[in-house]
Amino acid sequence: QLQLQESGPGLVKPSETLSLTCTVSGGSISSRTDYWGWIRQPPGKGLEWLGSINYSGSTSYNPSLKSRLTISVDTSKNHFFLRLNSVTAADTAVYYCAREIRYFDWFTTWGQGTLVTVSS
């Protein structure tokens, strides 16, 4: 059974870089059709898609964050990563990783999410 798990620091200082890892288990991140995405949810607000990546490193980013966001993949470890630089309090959110069975498709499997707070 495919499972995803987010990990990373729960507290990041303003202007610094937020870095998270998503570990995929019970399946291979190297599937030719799957895409792997990051979604976040600020406190009291709705979900926001951040971006997605496939096994070969092909990425798609939300235009609202594109200048600050990098998503990468390590197929040897079945991990993919999120880096968001120059963070502010507005980046405080629960961050989820999720699987899409193909590009721009539904998010069929999600991690439990990890809360990241931006504060000095």
Partner 1 sequence: EIVLTQVPATLSLSPGERATLSCRASQSVNNHLAWYQQRPGQAPRLLIYDASNRATGIPARFSGSGSGTDFTLTISSLEPEDSAVYSCQQRSNWPPTFGGGTKVEIK
Residues of this chain that interact with partner 1 (CB under 8 A) are 4, 39, 45-49, 60, 62-63, 96, 98, 104-113
Least distance in angstroms from the C-beta of 28 to partner 1: 19
Using DSSP, state whether 119 is helix, strand or coil.
coil
Least distance in angstroms from the C-beta of 64 to partner 1: 8
Contact 97, 36 (CB under 8 A): yes
Least distance in angstroms from the C-beta of 117 to partner 1: 17
Distance set, CA 99 to CA 30, 37, 85, 117 (Å): 12, 6, 23, 24
d(CA 24, CA 118): 26
Of 10 and 46, which CB lies nearer to partner 1 in the complex structure? 46
Of 16 and 107, which CB lies nearer to partner 1 in the complex structure? 107
